Structure 1
Amino acid sequence: MVGVLVVRHRPITNLVELVVAVGAPFLSLTAGAFLLVITVVTRRSVLALMAVCVLVVPLWAQASWYYVPRPVDVGQHVEIRVFSSNLRLGRAEAPAFVALVKEHADVVTVSELTPAAIERFTDAGIGEHFPYSLLAPSGGAGGIGLWSRYPVTAVDSGNPRDYTMAAARVQIPKVQTAPLIASLHVTSPVASRRDTVAQWQIGVSAVKAALSAFALTAGSGAVIVAGDFNSTPDMRQFRDLATNGYRDAVEQTGAGFAPTFPSRTWHPPLLTIDHILTRNAAASSIRTVYIPGSDHRALLGTISIPVNPPAL
């Protein structure tokens, strides 16, 4: 388990480290349980101490992220509901999707958005409830976009490399500084079942630069970045994104272990690779939502936006 802790605290550089980091929550439990069984059988106090250490140290790293809330006070605020979903190459079932978001969301961010998906979502009536949008559809997994109940103004998201992004200022009533909201999709480290860790590294590094640029652009205004990061909290590169004022919604709320991928299997999702990050804003709740036709569970977060953020 020392290896797990080492991998958690250094940047992922290869497929082996990736597998160890992704499996960290399960490896810790398995190894600890094995040692406990051996301890009971052999009645060795040294093994008992080892079992406790193997269990407690990695589990605390997990529990402190998922179950220890770190609330943020943003003063007078307006709450918005952000719904983020990977559409599985545009195959998410449009009627079910639109029925969900029209009841539960104010801003919808999507990845793997295809031209055909836009047609189906339009036919299902998404424009009636979300009349404003910023959409960049593409074949395969490269499409990205967002829909909003409120007016949007596109923001330059730089020159994405190994990630896709759509970013906009969203004019929310009563909020003096429009928050910057972005939909994100980072290249998978195992795209098409190949070793694409190098491309993923480039993508995550580029996203960090984009988040820094957003922080400068937004100033004291709120920033919300939601989407498929293809990264778990056990990956150092992802935790490095949650710096410079950015916070993960699960870490803020202590909402618990809520994996999102894969969702089209006989077993529950195992990997926490979809996230909502906030800056100068606070997440008060977040949960996962099953989406028919998608291989990811969506995220639904309630975010508090300051009405009048202080000038920097």
Structure 2
Amino acid sequence: MRTARRSRARLIWTVVALLVAAFAAVLPHLDVLVGGLVPIAQALIPVGAIGLLVLAVVPLFFRAWAAAVILVVGAVLAGLPALTPLRAGTECAADASITVVAFNAKFAGADPALLAARIADADADIVALVETDEVHIEAVLRERGLAAALPHRTRETTEGGVRGSVILSAFPLRGEQDISGSVFDQVTAVATLPGGDEVRVAAVHPPPPVGQPVDWRTAIGALDRWIGEAPDERLIVAGDLNASYAHPGFRELASSLRSAAEAAGPIPWPTWPQERPVPAFTAIDHILARGAVPTGWDSFSVPGSDHRGVIGDWAICSG
């Protein structure tokens, strides 16, 4: 009787493990919305993969060895696509280096003095701020001598609501354009470095999938097309993309770009949410580039924002 119960328990665990592992393995490859439930679940994949590894210990008490192995395999298959890809072998001859900061100011609520301190401490050459407005931008620039350190900027942000995105730069900017496709402002301009090299910079901000999944997917797709059509040899895309490598649309968007986070290794260090009861669990703030090699990555927090800012150091490939 006891042997029969154990056999039944092992069978149940194996079936459950197969179902759970199959769902976990397929999830990062589903490019569907289902009312936003799928992209939200994909954002949780790093946490879920760790959870599966922990869960794999339980069937061992029932000697359900197959179930434990299946859960581990499911965790690996789910977690691998969510890792930051390390694109080895794409180094280049570099004759310039820059530091880029990307930050979501959360409806201009991030403390401007502390944000300015983080930017100054990073010795940033280019800053991409999203969810900001003119009052907030001016408050940041008044601190730590940033008005002199970053004297160039893109146009004034859109009035009414805090949809603004801006690029602040130590280098002259030209060829400013808007990037369509998002309910938030997205701006781009070409920065001319001291040696004469030019780098197109984009401050981007697709909306989140929560509550507006169609707008989110539309904006990700539009940004992917813009990147593919941009003729610039050197391009930096920075901001809150509301997507991680766990999302297939983002992987497609970033497939031709390198991530500053490569410099920190394959683990996707989370940037959201900050200042919440739960710790940050998803990496949705990015600095991506082509025609450049990542040499450093870091993140920081500023009271008043639910995002961590990211800092990327880049070696710019020579012409």
TM range (shorter): 0.7 to 0.9
Deviation at 1:28, TM superposition (A): 2.1
Q: 1:188 to 1:49 in 2, by over 3 A?
A: closer
1:20 match: secondary structure: helix
User: In the TM superposition, what is the alpha-carbon distance from 1:91 to its structure 2 partner?
Assistant: 1.2
Structure 1 residues 70 and 253, CA gap change in structure 2 (3 angstroms): farther
Does the C-alpha gap of structure 1 residues 158 and 95 become closer, same or farther in structure 2, counting only changes over 3 Å? closer
Query: 2:108 matched to which residue of 1?
Result: 90
Question: Deviation of residue 67 (structure 1)?
Answer: 7.7
- What one-letter code is carried by the residue in structure 2 that aligns with 1:297? R
Which shows bigger deviation, 155-164 or 293-302?
Answer: 155-164
Residues 137-156 of structure 1 aligned to structure 2 (within 5 Å): 137-138=157-158, 139-156=160-177
From 225, 228, 234, the counterpart of 1:209: 225
Match of 1:227 in 2: 239
Residue 275 of structure 2: aligned partner: 264
Question: CA 1:60/1:206 → structure 2, altered by over 3 Å: closer, same or farther?
Answer: closer
Question: How far apart, CA to CA, are the structure 2 residues paired with 1:107 and 1:304?
Answer: 14
Q: Which residue of 2 aligns with 1:237?
A: 249
SS where residue 164 of structure 1 aligns? Answer: coil
Say whether 1:198 aligns with 2:198.
no
Point out the more displaced range, 84-93 or 125-134. 125-134
Deviations 1:42-97 (A, max 9, x none): 123222322332233323444xx238563631113311000010011111111111
Gaps of 5+ in 2: 1-20
In structure 1, C-alpha distance between the alignment counterparts of 2:175 and 2:111, rounded to whole Å:
27
Please, which of 50, 71, 75 is the counterpart of residue 29 of structure 1?
50
Q: Which has the larger radius of gyration?
A: 2
- Structure 1 residue 121, shift from structure 2 partner: 2.0
- How many angstroms does 1:147 deviate by? 0.7
Q: How does 1:1-312 map to 2 (within 5 A)?
A: 1-14=21-34, 15-39=36-60, 41-62=61-82, 65-66=83-84, 68=86, 70=88, 72-104=90-122, 105-124=124-143, 125-138=145-158, 139-174=160-195, 176-190=196-210, 195-214=211-230, 216=231, 218=232, 221-243=233-255, 245-251=256-262, 254=265, 256-307=267-318, 309=319
**Structure 1 gap ranges (5+):** none
For 1:236 and 1:252, locate their aligned partners in 2 and report how far apart those are by CA, in whole Å.
22
Whole-angstrom CA distance in 1 between matches of 2:91 and 2:201: 20
Deviations 1:259-278 (A, max 9, x none): 11111124431121111111
**Other structure's SS at 1:186 match:** coil
Aligned with 1:96: secondary structure? helix
Q: Structure 2 counterpart of 1:36, which letter?
A: V
Partner amino acid, structure 2, of 1:202: T
* Normalised TM-score (structure 2): 0.85
Indicate if the aligned counterparts of 1:165 and 1:185 stay in contact, CA closer than 8 A.
yes
Aligned equivalents of 1:280 and 1:249: distance in 2?
Answer: 13
Distance (whole Å) between structure 2 residues aligned to residue 299 and residue 73 of structure 1? 22
Report deviation, 1:301. Answer: 0.3
How far did 1:35 drift? 2.7
Distance (Å, rounded) in 1 between the aligned partners of 2:179 and 2:278: 39
CA RMSD of aligned residues (A): 2.1
Q: Give the letter for the 1:236 counterpart.
A: P
Which letter does structure 2 place at the counterpart of 1:199?
D
